[in-house]
Amino acid sequence: MAILLAPMEGLLDFALRDVLTRVGGIDRCVSEFIRVTDTLLPARAFLRVVPELGHGSRTPAGVPVRAQLLGSDPICLADNAARLAELGSAGIDLNFGCPAKVVNRHGGGAALLQDPELLHRILTAVRQAVPGEVPVSAKMRLGFHDDDLAEDCARAIEAGGADELVVHARTKAHGYRPPAYWDRIADIRTSVRIPVVANGEIWTVDDARRCVEVSGCTDIMLGRGIVVDPGLALAILIDQGLPIAGQAQPDWPSLQPLLGYFWELILAHVEPRARTGRMKQWLNYMRKRHPEAQEAYMQIRTLTDSRLVDPIVRAWVGDAALPAPQSASTISED
């Protein structure tokens, strides 16, 4: 089983990728989307979203990060994919699943699932633009208004040259409302020959077990579930009977230093007015699983000044050693 970390705009950025891959169990990350319109982006635009490009396209824990592009113009996407390949991205992923209205209104994300022929042209252009050894993958939902074209879209993506397909088991119309329709992933999986990865509503070990059983997929992608429970990937692998050398599911004391490390990353890379919001965001997710996170969240819930939050976070960490934050490397913009 391979476990992938999902791309989630505004949540799973490089800082949380760094922290969660330190916990363990994740085999590959996909970055938040990089929006492509009608121009070739400079290197700094890619580095801003995927600073791991300056470190071999890997997190400090050594987990590969595949950059994701979002757009609808085949030629422009191909040009930017070629630039990403030059910068050493661990692969190119294409976003056909974003349900955001502002994205769909401009013909991107899940809106592309209404036009399988365009999906095929995009994949063909991107595949031809990057070296053969660079993997090209795509992430799709079941459809836009409904799932009538799900298999057609998957076949178009495969025919265009994709090496792998991640399927989020809901349509754009479903948004993020449960349930996820894992049985439809099974239908898609049998309609293509490329590997299919299951995604959607995997919050627990039991969810992962049922998703694998229903979808027929070997590999899964985790999103909000692993933000709530950073040890979820390890727990799933242990449940599958896979050996986890030297690693164990983290308890709250072992998570506290990582909260401190996350805070250090935020202080170093996030603008002051957004810093406390990022810490609250993660704790708000984690309190669904960890009672101690609820207590921590309540301590900073009303605070907006990072200078007031800083001593509180350091008190959580105590004497535990913090790993030094990894700073973004500078890539030439030529």
Q: Which residues are catalytic?
A: 98
- Tokens 């939050």 locate to 309
Distance CA 317, CA 257 (A): 5
Q: For the chain, where are the alpha helices, taking DSSP H only?
A: 14-23, 43-49, 74-86, 101-105, 116-129, 150-159, 182-191, 205-215, 224-228, 232-239, 252-269, 272-286, 291-300, 306-317
Distance CA 104, CA 71 (A): 10
- Tokens 């004391």 locate to 253
Helices 252-269 and 272-286, packing angle to 10 deg: 160
Distance CA 18, CA 272 (A): 20
Helices 306-317 and 291-300, packing angle to 10 deg: 150
The helix/strand/coil state of 254 is helix
Entry field: residues in the chain:
334
Distance CA 243, CA 136 (A): 29
Q: Which two tokens stand for residue 106?
A: 């401009």
The single-letter DSSP state of residue 331 is: -
Distance CA 207, CA 236 (A): 10
Contact at 8 Å (CB) between 228 and 8?
no
